[in-house]
Structure 1
Amino acid sequence: MRQSFDEFVAERLDRLLRYATAMTCDRHLAQDIVQEVLLRVQDKWARIDAMDASYLYVKKMVTNEYLSWRRRKAAKDISASRATLEAMAPPTGDFAGEFVERDAMRARIAGLPRQQRAAVVLRYYEDCTTAQIAEVMGCTEGTARSHLSRALSTLRAHQATADARSPEVLR
């Protein structure tokens, strides 16, 4: 089913922004990335719309833009990333352990290398298969599995460290 560029944007913009925000942990950067990608997509819309999976192609462009932005940008202090993360979802009060854990997990994910973070977001936020992750990231399935495995190992190690420091683990 062919659709105009405006129809595509109206239908998919929210999802693209959520995807980019989850990957970047920065709402403003996500908006910049999606805007940049959509400007390029608009110029090539006839060719992209002719594809079987135009949304996946655009999502791959968003992923590549995020990954290349990270390469171009000088490394910033990780605390700035955490401050952005806290501003994005400020803690609302410690009335339930699951909210505290969610915020802690977001901070741990924000500290992952860019390709591992992208793989985790694609797998657990976008519910993509390993083959889809490999396609979006432009790598082999083995590399996608490796990114996921390393990310999960890092996240587990951080969780174990946090559990060891905490006198009482919330369950």
Structure 2
Amino acid sequence: MAYVRRIVLSTFLSDARKRQRRRTEVTADPAVLDRTDTDTYRAVEDREEVQRLLAGLTARQRAAVVLRYLYDQTDDEIAAVLGCSTATVRSHLSHARSALRLTAT
């Protein structure tokens, strides 16, 4: 069972790295394609800021943060993916938030 969890975690981290390299999003919605009022420079700056902040975390902290705040998973679900206890997940999240607070200021 640990082998399967490790595969799931490795696949998740690999997909996350692939998404970081991918800069375009496919859409057929004309409203999205025709919009001109968006501040694309600000969006790029925000994305780079998030990437910079997340890069300062350990891989497990980063995975816990992404699973919690991007995918809205519970502690139990994150623990199952990371192969650890729910207390360890809470610890990863706490340390990650602390590190992000220190880095963001």
Q: Unaligned stretches of 5+ in structure 1?
A: 1-57, 70-80, 161-171
Contact 1:116 1:147 (C-alpha < 8 Å) held by counterparts: yes
Query: Residue 63 of structure 1 aligns with which residue?
Result: 9
Are residues 1:138 and 2:98 paired? no
Residue deviations 1:24-70 (CA, integer Å, cap 9, x gap): xxxxxxxxxxxxxxxxxxxxxxxxxxxxxxxxxx7863214567x9x
2:64 to 98, 109, 119: 119
Task: State the distance in 2 between where 1:156 and 1:65 align.
Answer: 28
Q: Give the unaligned 5+ runs of structure 2.
A: 25-38
Task: For 1:85-164, list aligned pairs within 5 A.
Answer: 85=20, 88-89=22-23, 93-94=40-41, 96=42, 99-160=44-105
Counterpart residue type for residue 144 of structure 1: V
Percentage identity across aligned positions? 39
Quote the offset at 1:101 in angstroms. Answer: 2.3
Is residue 64–residue 78 contact of structure 2 (8 Å, CA) maintained in 1? yes
For residues 157 and 62 of structure 1, what CA distance do their matches in structure 2 show? Answer: 31
Which structure has the greater CA radius of gyration? 1
TM-score of the pair, normalised by structure 2: 0.62
Change in 2 beyond 3 A, CA 1:150/1:89: farther
Mapped to 1, the partners of 2:87 and 2:102 lie a distance apart of 22
Q: Structure 1 length as normaliser, TM-score?
A: 0.41
Deviation at 1:118, TM superposition (A): 0.8
1:64–1:137 contact (8 Å) kept in structure 2: no
Q: Distance in 1 between matches of 2:12 and 2:96?
A: 18
